[in-house]
Structure formats: C-alpha cells, structure tokens
Amino acid sequence: MMNRKRVKAEAAYLPLKMGLLEEGPTGLEASIQSKEGLEQAFQKLTQELRGIAEATTPRRKANQGFSSPWWSEEVKEHKHQAGEAEREHQRALTAYTNDRLI
C-alpha cells in the first residue's frame, strides 16, 4: 500500500537534504571525516528515511478484537454449531440430520 511514486520523489531530494551536493566544509564529504560526523550523518539519513516511510505508507488500522464489528462470541458459537450439523448431515443423510441442519 506504499505510494511508490512519492517515495521516488522524496528520495530524489535526499542527496540535497543530506548535503551530498555541497562542497567545502559544509558538505557531507567534509563532515564525515570524523567518527562523530559520520555518526551524525548516519542518524540524519536514518531520520530522513523514517520520515519518507511514515509519509508514504499508511498506518495499519487498530485491531478491535474481531474481524468485523458484528462478530461476537454468540455468532462464533452458532457458526460452530452449524458446522457440526453440516458435518453430521454429510456423514448420515437422514431426516433428523437434515432438520438439524436447517
């Protein structure tokens, strides 16, 4: 469900945001010469990628405990009983099992 076109568009700006296109002491190449600079660049990249993921991928809906709002323990029990009646009728085709099935 990710918006791939938006990911591609957001990723196109990533080199600019990271300073990869800048030269001199403010550019990415100059800032990653030290361990601290490399760690900061990595954290910034991680933050940017998370931002892209959050902006382009919808959040999953919260689980409400049931697959449908109308599904309950009572419905579950009736479904179970209907399944038992159907299996019993398939094993023995009698008037009793047919009545139980209906």
HEC profile of the chain: CCCHHHHHHHHHCHHHHHCCCCCCCCCHHHHCCCHHHHHHHHHHHHHHHHHHHHHHCCCCCCCCCCCCCCCCHHHHHHHHHHHHHHHHHHHCCCHHHHHHHC
Please check the confidence at residue 14 and state whether its pLDDT lies above 90.
no
Q: What is the mean pLDDT of residues 54-65?
A: 75
Stronger pLDDT, 25 or 43, i.e. the higher one: 43
Average pLDDT of the residues in 64-91: 82
Residue 46 has pLDDT above 90, yes or no: yes
How high is the pLDDT of residue 66? Answer: 56
What's the pTM value of the predicted model, to 2 decimals?
0.51
Of residues 61 and 62, more confidence is placed in: 61
Question: Band of the pLDDT at 50, cuts 50, 70, 90?
Answer: very high
